[in-house]
A and B are shown apart, each in its own frame.
Chain A
């Protein structure tokens, strides 16, 4: 068993503290409606952050995910509008739209991954570039405005965000499945082990017959697909996409990963920590909106403090292990 130290349990303790604080400040906080609201909002960033955990663990970084989400949403809406006359309103149309979203996500991830592993350009540079490209493309296609899904198609698609089973909405369910599969993949599969090994020291991994480039490429492709999945669940919420869709999602996702205890320099990944990190970020937002204690405008400041604090705790841990 791993030692359960302050840094391991820190994020979890912070989460529990926030829940207690929220319940104390507002009676509605623990209502089913509010909890569903918080979880559903966490789901999009959450799925992306799970993918980001693998990218960061293997020593990479992806700044393009927010723009990628906007791009995928735009492509998906255009495709569905275009297919509407032939397919008509119905399940086939929605499935076709989903396939487009996953496909575009996969290709976008592949583009990032190939530029990083084949051309050997640093992840920061590549994804800084594609971040600009994806967002600019959406803005251009929308001609600076909004791309809207056909009204009737939107009505039909809506339940994918608002509906669910047993009172749990689809985004929450899908996020839960992604989180569980992610945790399993990180802890118990070769892929997860290789990610940690590469992030820890990619040269050792190469000398140990690990196909370093292929694993790195797979992390970006998986992240692209997860961004596609998140977009599938996000589009029915508003039914539109614009140049400001998914703005700053990349930073929220990276922040969640770091708060969760994954090392930014790679080598050590914790998917359940990322899930806790995402929940912490949305809870802060939620509590500030519900309680009058602090202005919601300070949300960013509080999140910033938490991110820095999380890293300080991590550092305390690594120096203790260094002895």
Chain B
């Protein structure tokens, strides 16, 4: 069968640096093809070439065996090759229907609103998505926005669908919905490209797997030929034995006591304690109030309830108050809330601790020294020190954000989604950083939608559901089944007391 879309000996250089070295790669109709590799292996470049956003330096893009006729993303879409980017391409203030038909609105002089709504509804029904065509994108959950993106692609008669880490922002349950849609698309003969850092998903979903390392294909395999370990080994090029650090076993006294803590309108009546040297995992669906709880705890959201720090009652009104009390929060949204993407590493690193770098005037040398230390301590790999942070890879951005969060020397760190959208090698590094923090006597709260991460890192797990604590698990009781049960709320009575 002729591949729907293929690359033939594609090389790509940026300036003098070649980043893709002769890629051969084919997407066949009715097949899910997973492309995996570490950050910087060349996945995004390949996707950009397939989607018409970049032209190869040499080699060919073949659409149905013929040289692809498109020169831009828009032309590629018209030819049926649609890319769903990680950052969605939706206008937040327009309705679902307006987005689905953006750029190809029906009607001559006046828009045919009725037809748009009707056809959008049909597409959404096909996807089993219960969002109204009139809903504004701004008001939708991330998972629903993704469904709208897929509906938009289907509306454009996509024959090739390229999905850049679609599951990164979804929770367990939402991922299952996504998988059903993918199965449906596959059955209807669409050629799918899927990338993900979650290897269990890849094993479950992909009919064919291509592993990239340093801009070259190192392994191609069919369904069932590669285990998750095999994939990780192929990606990294070495055995990855200890992704997670060994568990810690001695803890100090309670350093934070949270009692009857509410962050209206989401979080209600949450109580827990945190000990010195402990990693407390917080699991739950997106929307269960995990992030709101964290933001309330560090004074970024208004809250009520009692907070006791080493036995002493405290009140926090801002992130600055929290810093004084030794609390720090690392946001899940590093691009919008964590880092100034157009600023340099130095300016980002010191932003929350500028007071330490000189009284009236900021001492540039002191800042540079701090950056040098951060680069060493957190293994940040930046081609140039003065580059804009937005041009760093996700993994390095995350390490820089971690360095920034740790700069004020907090005693309690809340890390929200520590490894979202990050390759397995860097993930493991970050897990070991977290372990080192705990062993150094800090207390760490890890919020994560990534089940293995919760299971592999936590000394204790707190599960949230609908703004409340659904249960707490400790030691040997921390199993995937137990956590999932609490997350989903099944057999509530049985597990809540466990």
Contact = CB atoms under 8 A, between A and B. Distances in A.
Interface of A: 1-2, 184, 188-190, 193-194, 196-197, 200-201, 203-211, 267-268, 321
A209 B339 contact: no
Interface stretch (B269-277, B329-337, B443-451): B329-337
A193 B347 contact: yes
Interface of B: 300, 318-320, 322-323, 329, 331, 336-343, 347, 351-352, 354-355, 360-362, 364, 386, 388, 404
B340 A197 contact: yes
Given A200-B343, A201-B336, A189 B362 contact: yes
Contacts of A196: 343, 347
A211 B318 contact: yes
Contacts of B336: 201, 203-204
Contact of A206 (B300, B364, B386): B300
B362 to A, nearest CB: 6
Nearest to B350: A193
A316 to B, nearest CB: 16
A188 B361 contact: yes
B354 A190 contact: yes
7 contacts: A1-B386, A194-B354, A196-B343, A197-B340, A200-B343, A201-B336, A205-B351
Contacts of A200: 340-343
Given A190-B362, A193-B347, A209-B323, A203 B352 contact: no
Nearest to A205: B351
A201 B329 CA distance: 18
A204 B361 contact: no
A200 B390 CA distance: 12
A130 B348 CA distance: 36
A26 B404 CA distance: 57
A200 B322 CA distance: 23
Nearest to B343: A200
Contact of A203 (B337, B342, B362): B337
Given A190-B354, A190-B355, A208 B342 contact: no
A193 B300 contact: no
A201 B334 CA distance: 12
Contact of A208 (B319, B341, B360): B319
Contact of A321 (B322, B339, B355, B388): B388
A207 B342 contact: no
A196 B346 CA distance: 13
A207 B347 contact: no
Given A197-B351, A206-B300, A208-B351, A188 B319 contact: no
B318 A2 contact: no
Contacts of A209: 318-320, 322-323, 352
Contacts of B343: 196-197, 200, 267
Nearest to A184: B361
Contacts of A189: 360-362
B418 to A, nearest CB: 16
B342 A210 contact: no
Closest 6 CB pairs of A and B: A209-B319, A208-B352, A209-B320, A208-B351, A200-B340, A188-B361
Contact of B338 (A2, A193, A204, A210): A204
Contacts of B354: 190, 193-194
Given A200-B340, A200-B343, A201-B336, A207 B360 contact: no
A208 B298 CA distance: 11
B386 A207 contact: no
Contacts of B361: 184, 188-189
Nearest to B321: A209
Contacts of A210: 320, 351-352
Contact of A207 (B331, B341, B362, B364): B331
Contacts of A197: 340, 343, 347, 351
A58 to B, nearest CB: 13
Nearest to A201: B340
A207 B347 CA distance: 15
B342 A267 contact: yes
A268 B360 CA distance: 21
Contacts of A1: 386
Nearest to B319: A209
Nearest to A318: B342
A194 B338 CA distance: 15
A267 B342 CA distance: 8
Residue among B319, B342, B364 with the highest chain A CB neighbour number at 10 A: B342
Nearest to A207: B337
Contacts of A184: 361
Contacts of B329: 207
B407 to A, nearest CB: 10
B362 A193 contact: yes
Contacts of B355: 190
A204 B362 contact: no
A205 B329 CA distance: 13
Contacts of B342: 200, 267-268, 321
Contacts of B386: 1-2
Contact of B351 (A188, A193, A211): A193
A211 B319 CA distance: 9
Contacts of B362: 188-190, 193
A203 B386 CA distance: 23
Residue among A2, A194, A208 with the highest chain B CB neighbour number at 10 A: A208
Contacts of A208: 319, 351-352, 404
A321 B388 CA distance: 8
Contacts of A205: 340, 351
A146 B351 CA distance: 49
A268 B343 CA distance: 9
Nearest to B331: A207
Given A190-B362, A267-B343, 11 more contacts: A189-B362, A190-B354, A190-B355, A196-B343, A197-B343, A204-B336, A204-B338, A207-B300, A209-B322, A210-B352, A268-B342
A47 to B, nearest CB: 22
Nearest to B355: A190
